[in-house]
Chains A and B, each alone.
Chain A
Amino acid sequence: MTRIFVPKDVAALAVGADKVAAEIAAEARKRGAEVEIIRTGSRGMLFLECLVEVETPSGRIGYGPVTRKDVPSLFDAGFLDGRGHPLWIGKPEDHPYLARQTRLTFARCGVIDPLSLSDYAATGGWRGLSRALEIGAAATIGEVTKSGLRGRGGAGFPTGIKWKTVADCPADRRYVVCNFDEGDSGTFADRMIVEGDPLALVEGMTICALAVGATKGYVYCRSEYPHAAKTFAQALEIARAESYLGPDIRGSGLSFDIEIRMGAGAYVCGEETALLESLEGKRGIVRAKPPLPAHKGLFQKPTVVNNVLSFVAVPHILAEGGEHYASFGMGRSRGTMPLQIAGNVRYGGLFETAFGLTLGEIVEEIGGGTRSGRPVRAVQCGGPLGAYFPPALFDTPFDYEAFAARDGLIGHGGLVVFDDTVDMAQMARFAMEFCAVESCGKCTPCRIGSTRGVEVVDRIGAGVKPAENLALLEDLCQTMKLGSLCALGGFAPYPVLSALRHYPEDFTPRAIAAE
């Protein structure tokens, strides 16, 4: 019996993974070969999907990108014994793309069957939870604080401090809420880990619940991720069956359970207070802060709201100790960050690494430049509200503070590469258009400013008083930055202002009229 691993990550499915798996099964039957096909998450080398791996005595050997029509030739070449083939890539972990990474959070992703408790336990799963149960709530929070972990959703708030605030807030009921509303274009790390290692999220949230004294957890999943939602719902059942969730977690007497809830296509619900409103069943309207969710969150109870990646980093931190995690990174950016290299890029994928690589290294060396083969002109960092960086700023190190110093943000770690055909005035217009579509409508700068922003960019393009309208656009951006209630209106100006600053030539009427 040969074990063959085929991803079922939705990105792999999009390039035919189900057809590949079915073809392997059919071909094996035809040839009388005994195979067991195990469906995994993705390794994150998405340019190699569908990446098929075969277990051999010397380890797992990968082949990719495999399509259905490659399957007979793989059998002919003896891939069941790991033999050579044009798609042979050797051991995946020796592939330069993976070998350069530091996989702490994504160590299991793409390796194990995401819904196998025994795979999870055999690869170090539940060690963090055991340790948390052993050392108790206060020491657990202490480890997370020591690790220097900062919220991976984008704001970068220290996780340990948030947890302590919730734990110290007197209440009859506390909640743990996972923000799985990963709406930024160019990001897919949350999706990948939930599809590839959902039990790590269960473990991370459970550790948090024990640390802060919460009994109920919610995962707010965006509706654009139906595959991840299905996998996570199955993981919850598996965890409950073995009392990793439920009224008496592993005999500790502590109670915690998780429910998954679906969003409904509103980007603003990724903002934590809008998310809480949405969970309560209301319009996803941003709340004014204070009170902080840590004091008055879901149903006005103290609530930890963390991103998927923050929770998933926690089991490792508990198992190996906070200091181990903090030994990675630079400055105040500790640990690893799963970068997502996307858009018009040759080697797109997930790249988990300690903070500190430069933007140029990420885009040119790791990403391999553009997929179209044309020169890179712009990289949008941190989602639709993130700044555009030109190649002249490629020396910027990937770190919260270094990006902020150049009027950018790392956000959730997504990088979208554009080649030289991009029209930056159009991208600036889209940033405003997106903000207008997604604004919750509570504050005026965001609700009205975004619509006015689209109009002003259009006037500049039409050559109507360009100098005055450019000044007006700058002014409008300042108003939105300073006057908006949340990051949607507050950060939408970043792509606009960065486009204006670094690509002024795209905002001349001639440039726009020439199209």
Chain B
Amino acid sequence: MPEAVAWNEPRAKAILAEFSGLEGPMLPILHALQEEFGYIDAAAIPLIAETLNLSRAEVHGVVTFYHDFRHEPAGRHVLKLCRGEACQSMGSEALAAETLRDLGVAWHGTTTDREFTVEPVYCLGLCTLSPSALLDGEPLARLDRGTLVEALEEVRGQ
């Protein structure tokens, strides 16, 4: 996964300038900021508010409403584990519990070595190949503890 850039205001302002001409530019801006920096820095909120002529409270409200937007940087690799019913029918809850325990984190947590962040996701549309996950955006299917650990070890340190 490409390493996120550290928060910096000039870059953030350039992103704002790029998207603020769209109809309803808020989500495209937030996605672009998160893509660049890996999370939405608190300092982005007044910048967005000023650019879009909104109150800080309104911007804060949007950022905190959506599950995707992180408030702090993620680990080097992001594992999104599916908790949808189809995955549950194939044992995903037990797999998730084991994985979280192995990594020593809770949902949304990042390992102490900053290697992995684990997030729940409610359906990836891979419901015939459950349990499924996205690791750094790449799909994984028919997972069990062995194949998931293998996939994590493969990217570790990269």
User: What residues of chain A have their CB less than 8 Å away from a CB belonging to chain B?
Assistant: 10-11, 13-15, 46-47, 49, 182-188, 191-192, 216, 223-227, 261-267, 278-284, 299, 340-345, 348-349, 371, 380, 384, 414, 416-419, 422, 427, 430, 434, 437-438, 440
**Chain B 1-44 interface 0/1 with A at a Cβ cutoff of 8 Å (1 = within):** 00000000000000000000001111110110000000000000
A348 CA to B84 CA, complexed, in Å: 16
The count of A-to-B residue pairs whose CB atoms sit within 8 angstroms is: 152
Contact A15 B129, CB 8 Å, known A343-B86, A344-B90: yes
> A264–B31 contact, CB under 8 A?
yes
Q: Which of B24, B87, B137 contacts A226 (CB 8 A)?
A: B137
A224 CA to B138 CA, complexed, in Å: 11
> A266–B125 contact, CB under 8 A?
no
> A280–B24 contact, CB under 8 A?
yes
> A10–B85 contact, CB under 8 A?
no
> B65–A188 contact, CB under 8 A?
no
Q: A74 to chain B: closest CB distance in Å? A: 22
Contact A348 B142, CB 8 Å, known A266-B65, A281-B62: no
| Minimum CB distance partner of B58 in chain A | A282
Q: Which of A15, A223, A279, A419 contacts B24 (CB 8 A)?
A: A279
> B90–A371 contact, CB under 8 A?
yes
In the assembled complex, 6 residue pairs joining A and B whose CB atoms fall closer than 8 Å, in A order, are: A10-B125, A47-B128, A185-B84, A185-B127, A186-B84, A225-B124
Q: B15 to chain A: closest CB distance in Å? A: 15
Q: Is B50 an interface residue (CB 8 A)?
A: no
> A348–B128 contact, CB under 8 A?
yes
**Chain A residues near B140 (CB-CB < 8 A):** 14
Q: B residues 49-77 with Cβ under 8 Å of A?
A: 52, 58, 61-62, 65-69
**Chain A residues near B89 (CB-CB < 8 A):** 343-344, 416-419, 422
Q: B59 to chain A: closest CB distance in Å? A: 10
Contact A266 B85, CB 8 Å, known A14-B140, A225-B125: no
A15 CA to B130 CA, complexed, in Å: 11
Contact A224 B121, CB 8 Å, known A265-B67, A299-B23: yes
**Chain B residues near A11 (CB-CB < 8 A):** 125-126, 128-129, 139, 141
| Minimum CB distance partner of B26 in chain A | A281
A255 CA to B133 CA, complexed, in Å: 40
A54 CA to B129 CA, complexed, in Å: 24
> A283–B65 contact, CB under 8 A?
yes
User: What residues of chain B have their CB less than 8 Å away from a CB belonging to chain A?
Assistant: 23-28, 30-31, 52, 58, 61-62, 65-69, 80, 84-90, 121-130, 132, 134, 137-142
Q: Which of A47, A49, A216, A414 contacts B127 (CB 8 A)?
A: A414
Q: B61 to chain A: closest CB distance in Å? A: 5
Q: Which of B27, B68, B139 contacts A14 (CB 8 A)?
A: B139
A340 CA to B129 CA, complexed, in Å: 12
> B128–A224 contact, CB under 8 A?
no
| Minimum CB distance partner of B123 in chain A | A185
**Chain B residues near A340 (CB-CB < 8 A):** 127-128
**Chain B residues near A417 (CB-CB < 8 A):** 89
Contact A343 B129, CB 8 Å, known A264-B67, A283-B61: no
**Chain A residues near B85 (CB-CB < 8 A):** 185-186, 343, 380, 384, 416, 427, 430
Q: A179 to chain B: closest CB distance in Å? A: 15
**Chain B residues near A280 (CB-CB < 8 A):** 24, 26
Contact A264 B90, CB 8 Å, known A11-B139, A15-B129, A340-B127: no
> B69–A185 contact, CB under 8 A?
no
**Chain A residues near B128 (CB-CB < 8 A):** 11, 46-47, 188, 340-343, 345, 348-349
**Chain A residues near B69 (CB-CB < 8 A):** 264
Most buried by B among A182, A223, A226, A342: A342
| Minimum CB distance partner of A266 in chain B | B66
> A416–B141 contact, CB under 8 A?
no
| Minimum CB distance partner of B90 in chain A | A344
Contact A264 B25, CB 8 Å, known A11-B129, A186-B86, A226-B137: no
> B65–A10 contact, CB under 8 A?
no
Contact A284 B66, CB 8 Å, known A185-B122, A430-B88: yes
A419 CA to B62 CA, complexed, in Å: 40
Q: B51 to chain A: closest CB distance in Å? A: 12
| Minimum CB distance partner of B121 in chain A | A224
Q: Which of B30, B86, B123, B141 contacts A15 (CB 8 A)?
A: B141
Q: B19 to chain A: closest CB distance in Å? A: 10
Q: A439 to chain B: closest CB distance in Å? A: 11
Q: B28 to chain A: closest CB distance in Å? A: 7
Q: B32 to chain A: closest CB distance in Å? A: 10
Contact A186 B126, CB 8 Å, known A265-B67, A344-B90: no
Q: B141 to chain A: closest CB distance in Å? A: 4
**Chain A residues near B129 (CB-CB < 8 A):** 11, 14-15, 46, 49, 348
A248 CA to B85 CA, complexed, in Å: 45
A13-B138, A262-B27 given; 7 more Cβ-contact pairs under 8 Å = A15-B129, A185-B122, A224-B124, A225-B124, A261-B28, A280-B24, A343-B86
> B139–A13 contact, CB under 8 A?
yes
> B31–A283 contact, CB under 8 A?
no
**Chain A residues near B137 (CB-CB < 8 A):** 226
Contact A266 B67, CB 8 Å, known A185-B84, A384-B85, A427-B85: yes
> B27–A191 contact, CB under 8 A?
no
**Chain B residues near A278 (CB-CB < 8 A):** 27
> A188–B27 contact, CB under 8 A?
no
A283 CA to B58 CA, complexed, in Å: 9
